Chains A and B, each alone.
Chain A
């Protein structure tokens, strides 16, 4: 029997719950840590980013309007599907990051646990971050956290799955929708994650995943007037100042992470809190 020729894959983007090719028609080869060919990934363009923002905006009312409990259930379901694809993730992480199988296994397990950790937060945010405020007058005053809106996420360049999960989960847990630019050289786990999201209960458009060159697409997202927040985690060092400056043009929230953030450590609430706005309501007593 002859050796079977393996099927070389050419992946596509994940926008609005569908898997379109890049508008530009471009793709680029993805290699493992030693330079061996793995697959072709779509090379997204600014117009793909624009379409992704439109999709995220369209999904926002439904996702932010869903009950926190329901969002939690949906995220748990994602963790279940992640678990089902565990072997695939382990091999992709091992190839992309050039780590041993055992290390890859621990990274994938931590990523799944991280997702579950954030899923548990959805219905506890309002209790922890909201408050009933004592005021000097005949009023009730309540503060409640509300999602910021559409978040542009530049995913970490090194940590291809754990880092990715650690930046996406907190954004959508609190009811935001997002456009993610994946790690430029290690996009495979992100592409598989998009297949996981498409086959779980997450509504189309809540997470949009674009592969390609971060430096090419990020400036368009930073200046886009319909993006409400920007996560700079995976931004190239040389671009950060410029991205922040153009984000200021439309007063976006900008998350500047600590350089060399260790995603293996159990996080605190800072990423959840970063994409929440506080709404305070005053209500007359006795009415």
Chain B
């Protein structure tokens, strides 16, 4: 097994072969389920108001990966999504741009043409999204196609079947190979926490993805319930924080799916600040995978600035 970067000796040992990887992952401390759920709920009650709320809303908007991953996607829909990414609220040019647009590989070209020169990233899901059930060749081809088309970020799914049956080496190899195929593009590794069942598994999968070189760890595809939850995001934030302590490298986290309201988004931001640290409050290190969230953020922003409640008639339909 090849370690993707130069790692401190403890971590370099972990990736030497499959049995040492297993030993490392199973040697990780277990997650205190009650504790993490209670802490997540406790931090969720923190009240963010007025100027701090406005700042949080703008930060959240700049962290959105505006996503459309439907069988019914058309080039027209992707173009309108790109337009929205550039100017989320057309009446208010001071609204920040979103971080990225996230689409299926065949839509990447359309998105890339629309977003040329804007600095907005083009993320593409790849590797037989959302199930990840295909051969390695096809997954690699899928990834290369997305990158050739202009994707600057690749969202891959791990093979949950292999992970749950304990074939960690196989999952590790896959991530390493996909990372190579990505070239300069950033790699986000989707753990699909809804299928991993336990927080211990989420912690192991997070470390596995970090060891294999994922730039981001992402909770879910959005196609499986439950998708992103606060406690799961806590566990993943702990992993990137510990990764930084051990290696000095900064890796990102992306909760995706089920985050629909501004209130939820702010709870996540509080978690980022408290669990990982303020330096993660940055679109390069924390993202929201969402589609409906952006409209709610825009409505809340208007509410804050106009002094009265806004409504869905004043934002775009998507």
Contact = CB atoms under 8 A, between A and B. Distances in A.
Contacts of A249: 308
A57 interface: yes
A224 B309 contact: yes
A226 B315 CA distance: 12
Size class of the contact patch on chain B: under 10
Nearest to A219: B308
B312 A57 contact: yes
Interface in A194-244: 220, 223-227
Contacts of B311: 57, 224-227
B312 A226 contact: yes
Nearest to B308: A223
B252 to A, nearest CB: 32
A50 B308 CA distance: 10
A173 to B, nearest CB: 24
Interface string B301-316: 0100001111111100
B313 A224 contact: no
Interface in A252-286: none
A2 B14 CA distance: 77
A57 B310 CA distance: 13
Interface string B276-318: 0000000000000000000000000010000111111110000
Interface string B139-169: 0000000000000000000000000000000
A111 to B, nearest CB: 32
A246 B312 contact: no
Interface of B: 302, 307-314
Given A223-B307, A225-B309, 5 more contacts: A220-B308, A225-B308, A225-B310, A226-B309, A226-B312
18 contacts: A50-B309, A57-B311, A220-B309, A223-B309, A224-B309, A224-B311, A225-B302, A225-B308, A225-B309, A225-B310, A225-B311, A225-B313, A226-B309, A226-B310, A226-B312, A226-B313, A227-B311, A249-B308
